[in-house]
Structure 1
Amino acid sequence: MDQLHRRRLIGGLGVGLVGFAAPAILRAQEPARPTAFQMEGPFYPYDDMPADQDSDLVRVTGVDAQAMGQVTHVTGTVWDQFGAPRAGALIEIWQCDHTGRYLHRDDPNTDRSRDAGFQGYGKAITDARGAFHFRTIKPVSYAAIIDGEQIWRAPHIHAAVSTRGVRRLTTQLYVAGAPQNEADILLQQVTSDEREGLIRPYTPGTGSETGALAAHYDLIVAV
């Protein structure tokens, strides 16, 4: 078990058993490697920002229909390199809808209609324990053009973390077991250890929402 994996395990036990005593222990160890950078991509909605920007991407204000796709509760914790939770961090996510279309005017997949019930972008602020929660859909694979060549991207959610008005991390979050993972051109650019933090299982949720999935990511940012 490598040091980063031990750090996450200890941190998880600390949250479940003794609150946040564990990060004090972690601060005495060597700094952890920050979560791997992944490109922002062309579809961050700079010019197409939705009016509804909350953390529930499955419901859009003013739209009666819920988003198509499998509802997923994506949770996570933002840590610094020494195991301390980062409260007050801005978390942004954006992803395509169930058909593979982004909320962006330059999305080339114009042969299909975008799901008006899917928000496409959301944001949240981490709480005192560095935790965040989004209600979204399980990401899907889609065709992308990279260097003039059409390729299939592995299912992923784009994510960004900012503190004190400065973006500290831009990355992409993947689904364990997705068959496209092994050939994804961007995922192959990070090491196997780095991939561990970006690829997480999507499992049946334990909450009251029938049929929903759950996934959890720990994001480590440099300070």
Structure 2
Amino acid sequence: MKNILTGAALLLASSSAFAGLIQTSDEFGTQGSATDVNITNLSETLSVSGFDATLGALSSVTINLFGQIDSEGSIENNDTSAARAALQVLLSQDWSVTTSYGAQYNFASAFTPIWSGESSAQGTFTLGQGDVFSYDATSGEMSRSLTFTGNDLSIFTAGNNIDFTFSTDILNNFRNESQGAVNNFTNINTTGSWGKVDVSYNYTSAVTTVSEPGTIAILALGLVGFAAAKRKKSA
């Protein structure tokens, strides 16, 4: 009888832990573009949905932040003397991501060089009058990966969206030189930024399976028959 009752319990209802994963993301700009989102006084906010607690118990959260700066332009020598063009692109403030839960994460600090280039080595002058030095600069993709567990998970279960504000600016340090007495250059530059946030919610959910009515009926008949046989034997 013990085995039959155990089987009945398993048929009537069983429960198991289900591991789930939900991923959400948001981004601004176009990766690799120097013109889509201008970097001047950059302040771009991305927003992702918090975790839906009705799905189950949140076990961990992984956030991946991405950013890239791209700059393009030209330097033209307007002087009759030979010249050289040189440029260094630096951050004029921290390249950071500030969140709605009060944390700040940096890709790089203020005055970090993003890129540098020159038309010729220092001390050599190869640009004639009207010659142009063109450049296409990039920081490359920057990233930060963050993992949250335990008490920190309450940030994501409050029912609110999670905001991520990307901010920075750049400084173009032109170091052009001419063999003549006067430096006369035309500097053209445009710089853009791209950013993205990926959020992964890992959770577990209890899944309960109830037996079909037909299975329950057959099991019930079996139990009734067993009880009747036991009464007859006793009589």
TM-score normalised by the chain length of structure 2: 0.21
Instruction: Give the greater-gyration-radius structure (CA).
Output: 2
Higher RCO (CA < 8 A, seq sep 6+)? 2
Higher strand share: 2
TM-score normalised by the chain length of structure 1: 0.21
